[in-house]
Chains A and B, each alone.
Chain A
Amino acid sequence: MPDAQETLAIAFELNSAPIEATVEPQTPLIDLLRERFGLTGTKRSCDVQVCGACTVLLDGAPVSSCTVPAFEARGRVVLTVEGFAADEGSSPLIEAFVNNAAFQCGFCTPGMLLAAKSLLDADPSPSEEAIKDYMRGNVCRCTGYKKIVEAVHEAAEASR
């Protein structure tokens, strides 16, 4: 890890657009997204990489932005819920969440959608067990999970 006094200039792709920023080595990615870029769809909750509320996709793979340093984004592709929702290709998953009541308070939902997208990108027709296993890093305290599993199934069917 670089010296804590330095600042780092980084360039990366954020929600399909190139972007540059100067960050301190200890700045977590979530702070850069929320506080510098105003992308408040990414949520902070447990701070210890358990809950998944802060999930964003880094080169297509889910990461906890609360613990990933911002400089790790250098030269890579970051997708937040805002970018996900703006993409027409996301509508099957979004509509499946609506149809199946797969969200309630909505605090886990941005991370949940991104984890589900990442799963479906890798495995277009996952089994129930595969969904549960892949999504285990994303906590939802409202729904009881069943409706999210059903939504991911439906999105997989719809995309086929």
Chain B
Amino acid sequence: MTTREFKTVGTAVRRVDADDKLSGRAQFTGDIEVSGMAFCRLVTSPLPHARIMSIDASRARALPGVYAVLTSAELVNMETHYGSDKKDRPVIAIDKVRFQGEPVAAVAAVDLATAEAAVELVEVEYEELPTVTGIDEALDPSSEPVHESNFCHEYGYEWGDVDSAFRECDRVFEDTFEFPMVYHYAMEPHTCIASYEPDRIRLWTSAQHPFLVQAEIARLFGRQLDQVQVVVPFVGGGYGSKSYTKIEPLVTALSREAGRPVRLALSVDEAMRTVRRHAARGTIRTGVMNDGTIVARECTGYVDTGGYTDNGVRVTERFGDRMPGPYALANVRVKTYGLFTNSTPAGSFRSIGGPQAIWVCESQIDVVAHALGMAPFEFRVKNLVREGEEVRRGRRPIEGDLEYALRRVADEFGWDSWTSGPTPPGVKRGIGFACGVTNSGASPTSTSLVRFHADGSATVYIGSAEMGQGSRSVMAQIAAEELRIPYEKIRVVASDTSAVPWDRSTGSSRSTTLMGLAVHDAAIDIRQQLLDLAAEHFEAFPEEIEAEDGRASFKGESVAFAALVRNMFGGSGGELMGRGYVTPKHASGKLRQDPVFWEVSIGAAEVEVDTATGEVRLLRYYSISDPGKAINPKQVEGQDEGAAMQAIGHTLFEEMLYEDGQLLNPNLVDYRVPIFTDLPHEFETVLIESGNGPGPYGAKGVGEGGIVCVAPAVANAVFNATGVRISTLPLTPERVWRALHEAGQT
């Protein structure tokens, strides 16, 4: 890559949303008032698995102030089911409920108090069905089927001669690890306002994928795309929980019944019954030679997708894609299965299937290294895939030097020189390492439009939802850089399907890479138009014109871009439009192969284990982030730190607990998320810029890498401290204490 002087790219500019977000002015969906709006409350199933025998909403409908009650009986003249891969989710429960908390009726009323009173008046009769809880019951053929069967999806791939490799290697290890169900806790629970009108449908919603919601609503209600407007205001945290379509169909159907706009704002309790991360179990068999060469890995995995598919298909696949790890493997066999159970449907959560896969992969790498008497770090380095090699056959080769990245983290952490030092009695310290690569970027399809105004400012139109990641600022930086105007002269309009051009989604770490490329191309489109106008102005060739700081210059003379635009239109107004299309056939040639890019994740942890209580304290954590090119370095760090902190949650205490299909901890008192005091004394992101991503300036995504390695690094550190291997997350004091006790360590 040639070194280029940048004006705003590479700088931690002031975020374009700073003033809104630091003043209370930032508008989230729940802050919007639409005139005539009714308020919705839900009637939800108290049972995890049951037939609906009857619903009597007559008393609720008769209550003054109630506009409508939606049940499955009202789902007429429309499609009734939706879903991203499998359309198995009814707009509201039809005939059967598949998890506790599934909506069976929805009330629209003049205010929330009336809606709540009406909810109490809806009578539902159920016939209870046997409950399917957890992976073992889902696999049991005698269990009640949640759908036609309890298998949602099956995935697999294989290369080499796995069976021969296992026969011929020196040693074979097989280990199984479990990952819990966890909840995103986006601090803004899902919120949606829908207005069903004769000639159009308008929605304001906390969604990550506005155009996928638009397409789903248009299909369900038999509308054209241009008749459905989806506006996504600021989103109060996503992390995947607001991917695809969630409550929007229900609220739209209720608005149709009520004949007015309706708002539904979920509580945390309800959000926990809307989407969660897949619990998982993975078993890996690893065949090695005595010199530490891995010759084969066979990975078998199960993910619990709950009552409906949601994103279970892709999670089943990514779990399988990611489980063998970042190693050069001559022989691989992977089989993964998605299973239905009677629990909250599981969908996307920051690095789908990633933390589960790398938990299994990297815990076992340490088991094998220990058994071979090798240092875990050297065992990893010995088997790493090299730059430019395929880590999965037939897919994009690895873009970066993984060994360099691993050694950088180890150096910064002080891995080689680490010693436990003196500890109080009963307290043991240890260090652990983990690494992984995750296929990211989803689909390489985005578009952008840039308008260049007659005063030299510009407006950038993007479909990306702003959920904290700072995409609006990054897009403004890219546009400013390519338009050759100051960052402050850019305004970004985002995520309103009737104003901005199409984008696939906001997720899978894709926006900087793919929407960034669309904005980059749209801005260059305008710059080329400006150069053409300047060439005309100076009677020169476009290639002879210099463009900088909002002016075009030629042989010592210069003219403002703004003047060129005004001259073109012959007056005081006018503007230029630039477009950017990103498809797999993008002219850069970098988007032909799947995945869009490999996101690198590395973690090094130091822990302290209190053997008397089983408490694990994370003292130091070092992570890596390779954004290719850091367009906004502070935001890159923020993504990595935020992701790693979420992982501290699922590593040490977060877990949705089910008993007989009942969620036991549906609130933030009983479901604990990380707080300030969980911040380790050293919590560092090592930033490397390998410059080889497919995005603008060699950029690639970094939203997910930080969440992947914390759990295995910490468990490996606990093993290093105590000699005890714990194969189930989270590492709660009770679980750790029991494991230590069994090993005679307490």
Contact = CB atoms under 8 A, between A and B. Distances in A.
Contacts of B30: 40, 44
A103 B26 CA distance: 12
19 contacts: A39-B24, A40-B31, A47-B667, A48-B667, A85-B22, A85-B24, A97-B22, A98-B22, A104-B469, A105-B186, A106-B17, A108-B187, A133-B676, A139-B185, A141-B673, A142-B237, A142-B468, A144-B641, A148-B676
A76 to B, nearest CB: 20
Which of B467, B638, B667 has its CB near the most chain A CB atoms (within 10 A)? B638
Contacts of B683: 144, 146
Contacts, number: 156
B668 A50 contact: yes
A96 B20 CA distance: 15
A41 B268 contact: no
B405 interface: no
Interface stretch (B527-535, B540-548, B642-650): B642-650
A105 B468 contact: yes
Interface string B236-252: 11110000000000000
Given A45-B268, A98-B22, A104 B676 contact: no
A110 B186 CA distance: 16
B410 to A, nearest CB: 21
B188 interface: yes
Nearest to A85: B23
B634 interface: yes
A106 B138 CA distance: 40
Which of B14, B17, B642 has its CB near the most chain A CB atoms (within 10 A)? B642
A104 B26 CA distance: 12
A13 B28 CA distance: 27
Given A44-B30, A45-B268, A105-B235, A144 B645 contact: yes
B637 interface: yes
Contacts of A41: 23-26
Contact of B188 (A43, A104, A143): A43
A135 to B, nearest CB: 5
A137 B268 CA distance: 17
A65 to B, nearest CB: 13
B234 interface: yes
A82 B23 contact: yes
Interface of A: 39-48, 50-51, 53, 80-82, 85, 94, 97-101, 103-110, 113, 131-133, 135-149
B8 to A, nearest CB: 16
B239 A109 contact: no
Top-9 shortest CB links A-B: A41-B24, A105-B468, A104-B468, A107-B236, A106-B21, A144-B641, A144-B645, A81-B24, A85-B23
B20 to A, nearest CB: 7
Contact of A103 (B22, B186, B239): B22
Contact of B641 (A103, A135, A143): A143
Nearest to A145: B679
A41 B19 CA distance: 12
B676 A131 contact: yes
B330 interface: no
Interface in B14-58: 14-15, 17-18, 20-28, 30-31
Contacts of B14: 98
A113 B24 CA distance: 10
B677 interface: yes
B635 interface: yes
A132 B635 CA distance: 22
A110 B642 contact: no
Interface string B556-568: 0000000000000
Nearest to A115: B676
Interface residues of B, number: 55
Which of B20, B23, B26 has its CB near the most chain A CB atoms (within 10 A)? B23
A147 B642 CA distance: 10
B268 A132 contact: no
B187 A98 contact: no
A69 B726 CA distance: 46
B189 interface: yes
Contacts of A85: 22-24
A138 B237 CA distance: 15
Contacts of B643: 144
B676 A136 contact: yes
A142 B238 CA distance: 9
Contacts of A94: 22
Which of B12, B17, B641 has its CB near the most chain A CB atoms (within 10 A)? B641
A50 B668 CA distance: 7
Contacts of B76: none
A107 B188 contact: yes
Which of B30, B668, B669, B676 has its CB near the most chain A CB atoms (within 10 A)? B676
* Chain A, interface SS category: loop
A29 to B, nearest CB: 15
Given A50-B669, A107-B28, A136-B676, A143 B189 contact: no
A83 to B, nearest CB: 9
B267 interface: yes
B268 A106 contact: no
B470 interface: yes
Contact of B24 (A110, A131, A143): A110
Contacts of B31: 40
A147 B676 contact: no
Nearest to B623: A144
Nearest to B111: A35
Given A47-B267, A80-B24, A101-B637, A139 B673 contact: yes
A142 B23 contact: no
Nearest to B635: A101
A38 to B, nearest CB: 9
B234 to A, nearest CB: 6
B642 A104 contact: yes
B375 interface: no
A51 B184 CA distance: 14
Which of A41, A47, A142, A145 has its CB near the most chain B CB atoms (within 10 A)? A142
B333 to A, nearest CB: 37
Interface string B600-628: 00000000000000000000000000000
A50 B676 CA distance: 12
A44 B267 CA distance: 9
A140 B649 CA distance: 12
Nearest to A110: B24
Contacts of B676: 131-133, 135-136, 138, 145, 148-149
B22 A142 contact: no
A47 B569 CA distance: 56
B675 interface: yes
Contacts of B669: 48, 50
A43 B236 contact: yes
Which of A47, A132, A141, A144 has its CB near the most chain B CB atoms (within 10 A)? A144
B265 to A, nearest CB: 8
Contacts of A133: 676-677
Contacts of B12: 99, 101
B644 A106 contact: no
A132 B185 contact: no
Nearest to A34: B31
Given A94-B22, A143-B641, A105 B679 contact: no
Given A42-B24, A149-B679, A101 B634 contact: yes
Interface in B667-687: 667-669, 673-679, 683
Which of B12, B28, B237, B677 has its CB near the most chain A CB atoms (within 10 A)? B237
Interface in B440-479: 467-470
